[in-house]
Amino acid sequence: MNTINHVAIIMDGNGRWAQQRSMPRWKGHEMGIQAVRRVSEAACRQEIPILTLFAFSSENWKRPAEEIRILFSLFQRYLVAERQSLIDNDIRVSAFGRRDRLPLFVGEALSSVEEETGSCKRLHLRIALDYGARYEIVEAARALANEVAQGKLDLEQITEEGFMRRLASDGVPDPDLIIRTAGEQRLSNFLLWQAAYSEFYFSSKLWPDFEAVDLEEAIADYRSRTRKYGALACAAG
Ligand code: IPE
Ligand code: IPE
Ligand code: MG
């Protein structure tokens, strides 16, 4: 049976959830936050050490300003309202992605929750916010190029490990399982480097409908798979 250290979820389908009910799209985002709460608690119960959630992509800036504004204010409200329960549940929260384009009130709420939950150990809840994998990879390349230009690094010293250390996920193991909801089957610029050997699970459920049992099913499915990493099944690590 496969062990599981890291689950990543592309939370998709909030808009469709609302549209199906003739509600404004933000209602779907509001219900999506309830799902974040349910699924993080389920991840704790399932003893998953790391849960990464894709909350806002670098391409989501293309959406109407009003939707973006509501998304960020829902997100800030979640951080403030959940603060105590995150601490009580021993959940450490951290965000990755660009910080410089986030509204100030989101950056501030994030920094304080990151600080207050910094020593929590049961679950590491990572939130990808204004995150795009291509940008992350280009930034890592830029950091390496800069070190080479300054004479601090030789070209021959550029390795996969060294490259990995310059990614936002430095120190975090690659996701074992990537779940995407709402029936879409694509990465949408999420964790392109880290997904090299991730297992994928696609759920037709819209994110606001995703329950603890859906996470359990995805994990059970993952556990039954054979991971080979290019080797033969019996030799796989
Ligand atoms: C996911 O739901 C949330 C974000 C991308 C912020 P969507 O808003 O993409 O929902 P659909 O895909 O329009 O249904
Ligand atoms: C991916 O969902 C981003 C997040 C879940 C935050 P999108 O709804 O933005 O992706 P596309 O546009 O359908 O590929
Ligand atoms: Mg979508």
Question: Which CATH fold topology does 6-132+174-223 show?
Answer: Undecaprenyl pyrophosphate synthetase (3.40.1180)
- Cβ–ligand 1 contact at 13 (below 6 Å): yes
pLDDT surpasses 70 at 205: yes
- CA-proximal residue: ligand 1, atom 1 (nearest): 12
Q: What residues form DSSP beta bridges with 158? A: none
Ligand 3 centroid to 15 CA: how many Å?
Answer: 7
In this prediction the pTM is: 0.97
Contact 17, 209 (CB under 8 A): yes
Q: What pLDDT is attached to residue 237?
A: 47
Ligand nearest to the CA of 75: 1
Tell me how far the alpha carbon of residue 182 lies from the centroid of ligand 2, in angstroms.
10
Question: pLDDT digit string (tens) for 111-160?
Answer: 999 999 999 999 999 999 999 999 999 999 999 999 999 999 999 999 99
- How close is the Cα of 181 to the center of ligand 3, in Å? 9
Q: Whose CA is nearest to atom 6 of ligand 1?
A: 56
Which whole number is the average pLDDT over 60-89? 97
Pocket test for ligand 1, best of 9, 16, 53 (most atoms within 8 A of CB): 16
Q: Which pLDDT value is given to residue 233?
A: 84
Contacts of 160 (CB under 8 A, 6+ apart): none
pLDDT digits (tens, 9 = 90+) for 5-35: 999 999 999 999 999 999 999 999 999 999 9
Q: Is the CB of 208 under 6 A from ligand 1?
A: no
**What does the block give as tokens for 44?**
């704790």
If you write DSSP's letter for every residue of 100-152 in order, what string do you get?
Answer: TTS-HHHHHHHHHHHHHTTT--SEEEEEEEEE-HHHHHHHHHHHHHHHHHTTS
pLDDT number for residue 133: 98
**Ligand closest to CA 190:** 2
Query: What does the pLDDT read at residue 34?
Result: 97
Annotated catalytic residues are 12, 60
Indicate the average pLDDT of the chain: 97
Per-residue pLDDT band at 170 (split at 50, 70, 90): confident
CA of 219 to the centre of ligand 1 (A): 23
Q: Is the CB of residue 71 below 6 angstroms from any atom belonging to ligand 2?
A: no
- Between CA 152 and CA 144 the distance in angstroms is 9
